[in-house]
Amino acid sequence: MAESITPQREDFSRWYLDVIREAELAENSPVRGSMVIRPYGYELWENIRDGLDRRFKETGHKNAYFPLFIPMSFLQKEAEHVEGFAPELAVVTIGGGKELDEPLVVRPTSETIIGHMYARWIQSYRDLPLLINQWANVVRWEMRTRPFLRTMEFLWQEGHTAHATAEEALAHTRRMLDVYADFAINDAAIPVVRGVKSEREKFAGAVASYTIEAMMANGWALQSGTSHYLGDNFSRAFEIKYLDENNESRYCHTTSWGVSTRMVGAVIMTHGDDQGLRLPPKLAPTQVVIVPIWRKEAEQAGVLALAERVESMLKTAGVRVHKDLRMDQTPGFKFNDWEMRGVPLRIEIGPRDVAQNAVVLARRDRPGREGKTMGVPVDSLTEQVPNMLAEIQAAMLADATARRDANTHDVTSYDEFKRVLDEQGGFLRVHWAGSSEDEARIQDETRASLRCLPLESDLGSGPCFLTGQQTDRIAIFARAY
Partner RNA sequence: CGGGGUGUGGCGCAGUUUGGUAGCGCGCAGCGUUUGGGACGCUGAAGUCAGAGGUUCAAGUCCUCUCACCCCGACCA
| 110 versus 261: smaller Cβ distance to RNA | 261
Beta carbon of residue 222, minimum distance to RNA (angstroms, whole number): 8
Burial 221-235 (b: 16+ CB within 10 A, else e): bbbbbbbbbbbbbbb
Name which of 94 and 327 has its Cβ closer to RNA.
Answer: 327
Q: Which is nearer to RNA, 104 or 362 (CB)?
A: 362
**Residue 463: is the preceding peptide bond cis (ω within 30°)?**
no
Q: Name which of 288, 325, 318 is nearest 303 in CA terms.
A: 325
Q: Which is nearer to RNA, 122 or 475 (CB)?
A: 475
Give the DSSP H/E element, type plus range, for residue 233. Answer: helix 233-238
Cβ neighbours around 404 below 10 Å, total: 21
- Least distance from RNA to the Cβ atom of residue 264, Å: 10
Least gap, CB of 262 to RNA (angstroms): 4
Instruction: Please report which helix (H) or strand (E) contains residue 405, including its range.
Output: helix 381-406
How far is the C-alpha of 255 from the C-alpha of 38, rounded, in Å?
A: 33
- The residue (of 299 and 410) whose beta carbon lies closer to RNA is 299
Q: Which is nearer to RNA, 84 or 281 (CB)?
A: 84
Residues that bind RNA (CB under 7 A): 1-5, 13, 17, 28, 31-33, 84, 87-88, 140, 142-146, 149-152, 154, 156, 201, 203, 211, 223-224, 226, 258, 260-262, 275, 293-296, 327-333, 335-337, 339-340, 348-354, 360, 362, 367-368, 371-372, 447
Least distance in angstroms from the C-beta of 145 to RNA: 7
Please say which residue, 236 or 352, places its beta carbon nearer to RNA. 352
Q: What sign for the dihedral angle of Cα 17, 18, 23, 26?
A: positive
Non-local (6+) Cβ contacts of 159 within 8 A are 56, 61, 131, 132, 133, 134, 176, 255, 256, 257, 258
Considering the complex, what minimum distance in angstroms separates the CB of residue 113 from RNA?
A: 18
Q: How far apart are CA 60 and CA 75, in angstroms?
A: 28
Task: Find the shortest distance in angstroms from Cβ 157 to RNA.
Answer: 12
Q: Of 62 and 441, which CB lies nearer to RNA in the complex structure?
A: 441
Q: Are strands 288-292 and 321-323 parallel, antiparallel or unpaired?
A: parallel
Residues 6+ apart with CB under 8 A from 450: 198, 200, 201, 432, 439, 442, 443, 475, 476, 477
Identify which of residues 258 and 342 has a Cβ nearer to RNA in the complex. 258
Nearest to 349 by CA among 311, 303, 309, 286: 303
Instruction: Check if the beta carbon of residue 17 is closer than 8 Å to that of residue 135.
Output: no
Backbone angles phi, psi at 83, to 5 degrees: -65, -40
Given the complex with RNA, which of 384 and 412 has the nearer CB atom?
384
Q: How far apart are CA 90 and CA 399, in angstroms?
A: 41
Q: How far is the CB of 338 from RNA (least distance, A)?
A: 9
Q: At closest approach, how far in Å is the CB of 69 from RNA?
A: 19
- Least distance to RNA from the beta carbon of 460, Å? 29
Query: CB 167 → RNA: shortest distance, Å?
Result: 25
Q: Which is nearer to RNA, 180 or 242 (CB)?
A: 180
Task: Provide CB contacts within 8 A for 100, sequence distance 6+.
Answer: 92, 93, 94
Cα–Cα distance measured from residue 139 to residue 151, given in angstroms and rounded to the nearest whole number: 8
Rounded to 10°, the helix 262-271/39-58 angle is: 110
DSSP codes, 435-455 = -HHHHHHHHHHHS-EEEEEES
Residue 91 CB, nearest distance to RNA (Å)? Answer: 16
φ, ψ of residue 93 to 5 degrees: the values are: -115, -15
